[in-house]
Amino acid sequence: MAYDQSNIFAKILRGEIPCDKVYEDEHVLAFRDINPQTPTHVLVIPKGAYESFDDFSSQASAEEIAGFVRAAGQIAREAGAVEAGYRILANNGPDALQEVPHFHLHIFAGKPLGRMIKPPEK
């Protein structure tokens, strides 16, 4: 599938719509989620046009990948989330209900986060 240049995060990257920015460098932009699920809910995105984690992990350069991982760790540290703990998550594709087709990592923090996946209903 070709990268959709009209997705909302592509518009944020182009400066066409605003975001509450928390971090930016050559390869990475991070901003607060518009509908936060936790007191701290940050989205970390690569500046390159990658539609998913699958796309990013297979197509991005080593420099982009290393920069992205380093930035995500730094953002969590700067949010003061390390001691109490935090969760990082990336939804990839339909079964994961990925809404925005530009790869993004969620950083959740600021309260106890519960189990990672709901146990199946009996």
Which chain residues interact with ligand 5GP by CB under 6 A?
8, 19, 31, 33-35, 43, 91, 97-100
Q: Confirm if 12 and 19 have CB atoms less than 8 A apart.
A: yes
Q: Which of 27, 102, 104, 106 is catalytic?
A: 104
- 39 near 109, Cβ under 8 Å? yes
Closer of 54 and 63 to ligand 5GP (Cβ): 54
Compute the least distance from the CB of residue 86 to ligand 5GP, in Å: 16
For residue 104, indicate whether it is catalytic.
yes
Using the minimum distance from each CB to ligand 5GP, give the nearer residue, 4 or 63: 4
**C-alpha torsion sign, points 44, 49, 55, 58:** negative
> Cβ 32 to ligand 5GP, closest distance in Å?
6
Task: Report how far residue 78's alpha carbon sits from residue 27's, in angstroms, rounded to the nearest whole number.
Answer: 18
Residues identified as active-site? 104
